[in-house]
Chain A
């Protein structure tokens, strides 16, 4: 034991664990604990939740929305992945861009641009109205399901595509050689192997829907939803009675945690040993069979890229108040955003930059400890580090405010709490990406360096870290792009003067100032795209190597 106590990695694990307990476990426990306390009316939040019809409806609606969006995403994502993996058809190259669109277009911009198309004032709504067609209001189920489906189907697509590509086609051939028709072989052999991956990504979508803030907030005014009520109870109850917000947050944590456990169980059960085999070569499709598939894929691609086009058009379109004058081009919106009110841009760059830099240090260290330096404490660190997956941004923000508003570490009101929220929210993502190359680095390399006389910490910097650089760089870009787009946690913890781009866009949507929102949106997209382009084109970094 004396030897283990002297190990530098052991002490670093202790340090990381202490920080995780302080900034992750403690806020979570504060949320759960506060929900059990008595509220202003003397009742526990849980009693209110069960007795109040509005809250009951919110829980039900959230589950229903999660189920509907999950099914719709699966219905789009799975066929698209199957045809993309197995066939080549005209225009297929465009599909390869799909994983990028979720990364490039923040949710808040997606919902904003959908509103510009199908909202009460949307150009498609008006166009159809001119022809006498009346669409159902986009504010409500129609909008919620449409926007969320087209944001989240890419998760199912990516997960399914990876599973189908990893599937050894020889198994299908083996089945056919045993006298089973190709169609039945697909059903008998491939489906059981691919289904766990589909279920896992579909359940991920479910958790994202439950935690979704931007879309639910903008479109869900007529539909009570958990995340919206949580935020509203937070806004109205700041400084007074945080019981209800904690109760609602606890419900959301409970739902997401259950689904994540189910997901882990499915992934663990479905992990068949797949011998690295030959993936199927895409079969060429042409003529009549190819046409409907190519058309369907094209529709999905166009709809996915629509927000990007709309935000560019909107940024350059003249507007008077909420009224967009389509076709009347101007650079006034951008000028105002860049010259008169650039604060949100600077805030975003500074907060996200700090958070990304910190995240890389923490992710690299924690990833290394979890993958390479297992000891009695690393499993606990592993669990704590993946805890943010179960917390929606709103819940995380509320937890941080409850814990650090005053008391021993008063962070609230400062920029530090925004950076902290960013850091924690993207931590699992950062760790997974930063440590992806570690699995390919044999432990013997470290032993070799140590045996040649270099102590462990210097060995890490001389031998292991240089090999981690590609994955750390990829993690840096991915953490940056997802952090600058972060809304749901930062909108809870920020104070006046600390508006970031997503917060500012969110506020402008609320005021129906779409042109200016588009201008900020364009800047945000640029801040996201430029590092991606530099990383992939100049440094040739494979951003999706970890997936």
Chain B
């Protein structure tokens, strides 16, 4: 077992590399998620760590071992793929035994190890089946057993859940979480699904165009996004372009003019005067009757209302035409489309960041 250390990594040819000067540390035994939209370079980064994509510059260490120039088959990795990548002509047992046989492990030991890992993923009864006779969730659990059976230094997972339907996704997600914790293996998981990232990860790195936008715990990314981009990608917050009248010190409250109403929001980092972005999640906003008339409430009109069971989402429009999403949990205060209301921000849960 070992942590992963990436320093000044450059990947890809040509004038615009896929990954530029990326540095990253993954703590030994933790689960780290690379999150980002498609095309952000997260799969390329994972395949670079695996050894399938050559490194142009920079270094890559597994623990103290420098693996920068090592080919994939010598890196001692376990890898799980989006499409399972089970060998279709081999039984479940032979699939899991494949890496052990390549390492010339004794037959008795192979039988024991394969048995142990099939047991761990709950598929002991399926050892003699062919992959085609398994469901998608079962196939991905076999792939997980196969990757872990060789007791690799690191486990790399490339969108392991995205081929599964919603219900299986949650099941396999829990298998992955349990197994990763039991085995205590350093793991990197790639996903574009922010809910998956929030649920599984010790830490998340959000990638944008080959650069790390923010690294932190799930709580960090959700509650303290470093940029409007992070706020929008993780949990789809409202991001509103605003103008700061004066510079703001880091960690203090800023007073912001929002369509003629002065509202307050936290500034996690110091900001200069001028353009900035106000980040407010739908659930940190409240709609109040217009008659309340408290000075901090922004007048708005209800454009759309969607009842979603436990909550209701509203789309409201301010005087200047901004569209803002609000999430309400108290159905009693249902507001009709077309009626006017006041929009109230929670200063402690609203952020203002650089644009």
Task: List the interface of chain A (C-beta within 8 A of B).
Answer: 2-4, 442, 444-445, 447-456, 459, 463, 466-467
Is the beta-carbon distance between A452 and B99 smaller than 8 angstroms? yes
CB of B167 closer than 8 Å to a CB of A: no
Of all chain B residues, which has the CB nearest A452? B99
Q: Are A466 and B98 in contact (CB under 8 A)?
A: no
28 CB < 8 A contacts A-B: A3-B54, A4-B54, A442-B83, A442-B85, A444-B81, A444-B82, A444-B83, A444-B85, A445-B86, A447-B47, A447-B50, A447-B79, A448-B87, A448-B146, A450-B72, A450-B73, A451-B51, A451-B73, A451-B77, A452-B78, A452-B99, A453-B76, A453-B99, A454-B102, A459-B73, A463-B87, A467-B88, A467-B89
Is the C-beta of B234 less than 8 angstroms from some C-beta in chain A?
no
With A4-B54, A466-B89 given, is the CB distance from A452 to B83 under 8 Å? no
With contact pairs A3-B54, A447-B52, A448-B79 given, residues A454 and B73 touching in the complex (Cβ less than 8 Å): yes
Set of chain B residues within 8 Å of A459, measured between Cβ atoms: 73
List residues 247-264 of chain B with CB under 8 A from any CB of chain A.
none
Q: Which residues of B have CB within 8 Å of A450?
A: 51-52, 72-73
* Residue in contact with A452 in the complex, picked from B47, B82, B88, B102, CB distance below 8 Å: B102
Known: A445-B87, A445-B88. 18 other contacts (CB 8 A): A442-B83, A442-B85, A444-B85, A447-B79, A448-B79, A449-B87, A449-B98, A450-B52, A451-B50, A451-B75, A451-B79, A452-B99, A452-B146, A454-B98, A455-B71, A455-B73, A463-B87, A467-B89
Cα distance A15–B156 in the bound complex, in angstroms: 35
How does the 8 Å CB contact mask read for B63-104 relative to A, with 1 for contact and 0 for none? 000000001111111110111111111000000001100110
Instruction: Decide if A448 touches B81 in the complex (CB within 8 Å).
Output: yes
> Could you tell me the distance between the alpha carbons of A445 and B147 in the complex, rounded to whole angstroms?
13
**Cα separation A270 to B71 with both chains bound (whole Å):** 43
Question: Which of A3, A445, A450 has most B Cβ within 10 Å?
Answer: A450
Q: How far is the CA of A2 from the CA of B56 in the complex (A)?
A: 9
The smallest C-beta distance from B114 to any residue of chain A, in angstroms, reads 13
Residue with the greatest number of chain B CB neighbours at <10 A, chosen from A445, A453, A459:
A453
Cβ contact within 8 Å between A447 and B73: no
Within the complex, the shortest CB–CB distance from B60 to chain A, in Å, comes to 13
B83 near A453 with CB under 8 A, answer no
B150 at the interface (CB under 8 A from A): yes
Q: How many residues of B contact A (CB 8 A)?
A: 32
Please name all residues of chain B whose beta carbon is closer than 8 Å to the beta carbon of A2 when the two chains form the complex. Answer: 54
Q: When the two chains form their complex, are residues A452 and B98 in contact, meaning their CB atoms are under 8 A apart? A: yes
Contact between A453 and B85 (Cβ–Cβ < 8 Å)?
no
Taken together as a complex, chains A and B put the C-alpha atoms of A283 and B84 apart, in Å, by 41
Query: Chain A contact residues: over half helix, strand or loop, or mixed?
Result: helix
Tell me, in angstroms, the Cα distance from A2 to B72 when the chains sit together: 15
Chain B residues whose C-beta falls within 8 Å of the C-beta of A448 in the assembled complex: 79, 81, 85-87, 143, 146
User: Nearest chain-B residue to A2 (Cβ)?
Assistant: B54
With beta carbons under 8 angstroms apart, the residue of B54, B72, B103 that contacts A451 is B72
Contact between chains at A445 and B54 (CB < 8 Å): no
Q: For chain B residues 189-241, which have a beta carbon within 8 Å of chain A?
A: none
Contacts of B147 in A (CB 8 A): 451-452
Residue of B nearest to A467 (CB): B89
Q: Which residues of A contact B84 (CB under 8 A)?
A: 444
Residues of B within 8 A of A463 (CB): 87
- Separation in Å of the B88 CB from the closest CB of chain A? 7
Chain B residues within 8 Å of A451, by CB: 50-51, 72-73, 75, 77-79, 147, 156
Report chain B residues within 8 Å CB of A455: 71, 73
Q: In whole Å, how far is B208's beta carbon from the nearest beta carbon of chain A?
A: 26
Closest chain A residue to B82, Cβ basis: A444
Q: In the assembled complex, which residues on chain A have CB atoms less than 8 Å from the CB atom of B81?
A: 444, 447-448
Give Cα A442–Cα B146 distance, bound, in whole angstroms.
17
Check A447–B102 contact: CB distance below 8 A: no
Q: How far is the CA of A459 from the CA of B78 in the complex (A)?
A: 16
Q: Which residues of B contact A445 (CB under 8 A)?
A: 85-88
A453 near B102 with CB under 8 A, answer yes
Most buried by B among A444, A452, A454: A452
Q: How far is the CA of A244 from the CA of B73 in the complex (A)?
A: 57
Query: A451–B82 Cα gap in the complex (Å)?
Result: 15
Q: Give A455 to B47 CA distance when docked, in angstroms.
A: 16
CA distance A491 to B90 in the complex (A): 47
Would you give the shortest CB distance from B67 to chain A, in whole angstroms? 13
Question: Shortest distance in angstroms between B115's beta carbon and chain A's nearest beta carbon?
Answer: 18
Interface string of B119-148 (1 = CB under 8 A from A): 000000000000000000000000100110
Interchain CA distance A453-B98 in the complex, whole Å: 9
CB distance from B110 to the nearest CB of A (A): 13
A527 CB, nearest partner CB in chain B, Å: 32
B236 to chain A, nearest CB (A): 31
Task: Provide the residues of chain A in CB contact with B71, threshold 8 Å.
Answer: 455
The docked-state distance in angstroms from the alpha carbon of A448 to that of B152 is 13
- Listed from nearest, the 8 A-B pairs whose CB atoms lie closest are A452-B99, A3-B54, A444-B85, A451-B79, A448-B85, A444-B81, A453-B102, A454-B102
* Chain A: minimal CB distance from B70 (Å): 11
Asked, given contacts A444-B82, A447-B52, A447-B79, whether A452 binds B150 with beta carbons under 8 Å apart, the answer is yes
In the complex, which residue of chain A has the Cβ closest to the Cβ of B74?
Answer: A453
Please give, as numbers and ranges, the residues of chain A lying within 8 Å of B74 by CB-CB distance: 453
For the complex, what is the distance from the CA of A451 to the CA of B98, rounded to whole Å? 11
Distance, CA A2 to CA B68, complexed state (A): 13
B150 to chain A, nearest CB (A): 6
B65 to chain A, nearest CB (A): 15
Whole-angstrom distance between the alpha carbons of A3 and B55 in the complex?
9
Give the chain B neighbours of A449 by CB distance below 8 A: 87, 98
Q: How far is the CA of A2 from the CA of B71 in the complex (A)?
A: 12
Residue from A448, A455, A459 with most neighbouring chain B CB atoms (10 Å): A448
B30-73 interface code vs A (CB 8 A; 1 in, 0 out): 00000000000000000100111010000000000000000111
Across-interface contacts of B72 in A (CB, < 8 A):
447, 450-451
